[in-house]
């Protein structure tokens, strides 16, 4: 895998060897910093990896690119590994998934990567025109503060809250980091500037054009559109030297591939229409070969797929197995969750379905599971659902406790003195109750002089077990 280069081991693939060789030539000392900062564009000559917009993973040495949404990067273990596929399962009305798609492409333009946009519905040129504008260093702070101030309380207020329930929560990276070159925030209300578009290098694949131009159909089990797309991608990768086979003269670069609505009927695939179709293997075969192409080149791919349309559930499971990272968006539009007060601040849920295990036995699973997204006026944010009551009932508290807490909360307000007093007293009572249960259930063996046993009466201490509740003396027969 080409992306394994950063680990510095010679792994036998040609592309890896070439990068490693280049790196070792530059290294004078054997000591070097292997941090996320090693990726900046204006790097000195002694940097291990010098491709703009990438950084090596701390965990497994993989080269990472940003998805264009720093919060998502964080959830995926730092970013998207080069040579892997990110599959976005579209939300029902396909409203929010194009945003992630565009962020990914826009991040490529900002980082100077080459783009490859494939679509069967929209012209690639139009998609590019619609990309959001980045919030760059100078103005982003102001933009973000404005977005934040109206919904978030200030830091000092958070400190005042009841501490032990909230301080342990993982903090989501909420705001733009002004100096980071890896991952940017985008303003979805503005379009990207024309100069940036002109400066970028982009290849478009628009299915209707390709179908009409060539009709020499080779007999193959893949759908015609998929064959065309694979050949197109392979041609770009080979011609522009992303596979490392013909060494690039210029700066090494990343190819970002975006494929929109893959598997929809527009691609000539009928997995969405019938359950048992003839070429139900087209999609999985396409994914497999695409993955093979990616693994041997410096490229990363995002695919959005309307999985809710696919009739045969078995195919979805296979597609998940054949992709690397899988993220599912579930919007609240049209569902009963839209009116649920718990979710009133959000537009949908985001499920991280799969995170790849690369060069490692384990994967970077984030501990936070209940995630929701919200599209603000400008920013797309991912937040932890404030579902404290349910979550904590599951984990820590005795059953029913959180319900009580919720009632008391409404009366007293969180963090108030009464609230915490109640909390402590309840916990003390619960502990005492639990220990009493334990004491009662264990068989009693008479030890010592037996004086206590005699005093308690003969019935209570027969067979070493207590037969009636203490204090309730049975009436002798």
Partner 1 sequence: MFPELNNLLNATPDKVDQGKLTLLCDAKTDGSFLVHHFLSFYLKANCKVCFVALIQSFSHYNIVGQKLGVSLTTARERGQLVFFEGLRSSVDVFFRAKGEPHPLQFLREASAGNLQPLYEFVREALRPEDNGEAAWRCPVLLVDDLSVLLSLGMGAVAVLDFVHYCRATVCWKLQGNIVALVHDSGDTQDEENDILLNGLSHQSHLILRAEGLATGFCRDVHGQLRILWRRPLWHPAQRDRSLTYQYKIQDKTVSFFAKGMSPAVL
Q: Does 351 bind partner 1 (CB under 8 A)?
A: no
Q: Does 274 bind partner 1 (CB under 8 A)?
A: no
- Given 316, 349, 371, 379, the residue binding partner 1 (CB under 8 A): 316
250 three-class SS: coil
- Given 201, 291, 376, 408, the residue binding partner 1 (CB under 8 A): 291
Cβ count within 10 A of residue 400: 10
Q: Does 281 bind partner 1 (CB under 8 A)?
A: yes
Annotate each residue in 226-245 with x if it binds partner 1 (CB under 8 A) or - if it does not, as one string.
----xx--x-----------
- Given 32, 40, 311, 359, the residue binding partner 1 (CB under 8 A): 359
b/e sequence 163-180, b meaning 16+ C-beta within 10 Å: eeeeeeeeebeebbeeeb
In the complex, minimum distance from the CB of residue 330 to partner 1, in angstroms, rounded to a whole number: 18
Annotate each residue in 422-461 with x if it binds partner 1 (CB under 8 A) or - if it does not, as one string.
----------------------------------------
Half-sphere exposure of 101 (CA within 13 A, CB side): 29
CB-wise, 127 or 293, nearer to partner 1?
A: 293
Q: What share of the chain is helix, strand, coil (3-state, %, to 5)?
A: 40, 15, 45
Longest dimension (CA), the chain: 103
Q: Does 347 bind partner 1 (CB under 8 A)?
A: no
In the complex, minimum distance from the CB of residue 3 to partner 1, in angstroms, rounded to a whole number: 9
Question: How, if at all, do strands 255-259 and 132-135 pair?
Answer: unpaired
User: CB–CB of 85/325 below 8 Å?
Assistant: yes
Annotate each residue in 13-42 with x if it binds partner 1 (CB under 8 A) or - if it does not, as one string.
x--x--------------------------
CA atoms of 459 and 469, how far apart (whole Å)? 11
* Contacts to partner 1 from residues 374-393, by CB under 8 A: none
Return the sign of the alpha-carbon dihedral for residues 28, 32, 36, 42: negative
User: Looking at 99-107, 361-369, 418-426, 435-443, which segment touches partner 1 (CB under 8 A)?
Assistant: 361-369
Q: How far apart are the first and last CA of the chain?
A: 85
Q: What is the dihedral of CA 287, 288, 289, 290, to 10 degrees?
A: 40
Q: Does 360 bind partner 1 (CB under 8 A)?
A: yes
- Given 24, 221, 425, 431, the residue binding partner 1 (CB under 8 A): 221
User: Looking at 158-166, 200-208, 318-326, 406-414, which segment touches partner 1 (CB under 8 A)?
Assistant: 318-326
Q: Does 321 bind partner 1 (CB under 8 A)?
A: yes
In the complex, minimum distance from the CB of residue 389 to partner 1, in angstroms, rounded to a whole number: 18
CA atoms of 345 and 382, how far apart (whole Å)? 12
Nearest 5 degrees, angle CA 176-CA 178-CA 183? Answer: 60
In the complex, minimum distance from the CB of residue 356 to partner 1, in angstroms, rounded to a whole number: 9
Q: Does 296 bind partner 1 (CB under 8 A)?
A: yes
Q: What is the dihedral of CA 443, 449, 450, 452, to 10 degrees?
A: -100
Q: Which residues bind partner 1 (CB under 8 A)?
A: 1, 4, 7, 9, 11-13, 16, 60-61, 83, 219-221, 230-231, 234, 281, 284-285, 288-289, 291-293, 295-296, 313-314, 316-318, 321-322, 357-363, 365, 367, 369
């Amino acid at each position: 895998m080409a992306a394994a280069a950063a680990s510095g081991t010679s792994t036998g693939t040609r592309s890896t060897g070439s990068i490693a060789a280049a790196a070792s030539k530059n290294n004078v000392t054997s000591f070097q910093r292997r941090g996320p900062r090693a990726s900046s564009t204006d790097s000195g000559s002694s940097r291990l990896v010098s491709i703009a917009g990438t950084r090596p993973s701390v965990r497994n040495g993989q080269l990472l690119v940003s998805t264009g949404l720093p919060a998502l990067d964080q959830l995926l273990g730092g970013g998207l590994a080069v040579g892997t596929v990110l599959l976005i399962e579209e939300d029902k009305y396909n409203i929010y998934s194009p945003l992630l798609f565009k962020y990914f492409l826009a991040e490529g333009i900002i980082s100077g990567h080459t783009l490859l946009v494939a679509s069967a519905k929209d012209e690639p040129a139009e998609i590019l025109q619609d990309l959001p504008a980045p919030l760059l260093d100078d103005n982003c702070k102001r933009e973000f503060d404005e977005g934040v101030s109206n919904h978030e309380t200030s830091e000092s207020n958070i400190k005042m809250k009841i501490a032990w329930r909230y301080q342990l929560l993982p903090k989501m990276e909420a705001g733009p980091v002004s100096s980071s070159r890896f991952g940017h925030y985008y303003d979805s209300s503005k379009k990207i500037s024309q100069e940036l578009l002109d400066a970028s290098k982009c290849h478009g694949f628009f299915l209707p054009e390709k179908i009409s131009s060539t009709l020499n159909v080779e007999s193959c089990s893949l759908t015609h559109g998929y064959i065309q797309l694979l050949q197109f991608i392979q041609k770009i990768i080979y011609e522009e030297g992303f596979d490392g086979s013909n060494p690039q003269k210029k700066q090494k670069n990343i190819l970002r591939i975006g494929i929109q609505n893959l598997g929809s009927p527009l691609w000539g695939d009928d997995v969405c229409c019938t359950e048992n179709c003839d070429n139900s293997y087209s999609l999985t075969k396409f994914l497999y070969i695409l993955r093979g192409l990616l693994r041997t080149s410096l490229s990363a791919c995002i695919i959005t797929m309307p999985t809710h349309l696919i009739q045969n559930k078995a195919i979805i499971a296979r597609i998940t197995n054949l992709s690397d990272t899988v993220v599912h968006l579930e919007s609240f539009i049209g569902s009963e969750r839209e009116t649920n007060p718990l979710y009133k601040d959000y537009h949908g849920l985001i499920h991280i379905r799969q995170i790849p295990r690369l060069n490692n036995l384990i994967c970077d699973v984030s501990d936070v599971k209940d995630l929701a997204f919200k599209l603000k006026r400008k920013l797309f944010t991912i937040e932890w659902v404030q579902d404290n009551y349910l979550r904590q009932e599951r984990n820590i508290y005795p059953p029913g406790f959180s319900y009580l807490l919720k009632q008391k909360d409404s009366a007293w307000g969180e963090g108030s003195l009464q609230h915490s007093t109640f909390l402590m007293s309840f916990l003390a009572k619960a502990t005492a109750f639990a220990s009493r249960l334990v004491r009662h259930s264990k068989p009693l063996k008479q030890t010592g002089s037996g004086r206590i046993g005699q005093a308690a009466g003969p019935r209570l201490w027969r067979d070493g077990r207590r037969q009636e509740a203490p204090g309730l003396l049975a009436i002798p027969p």
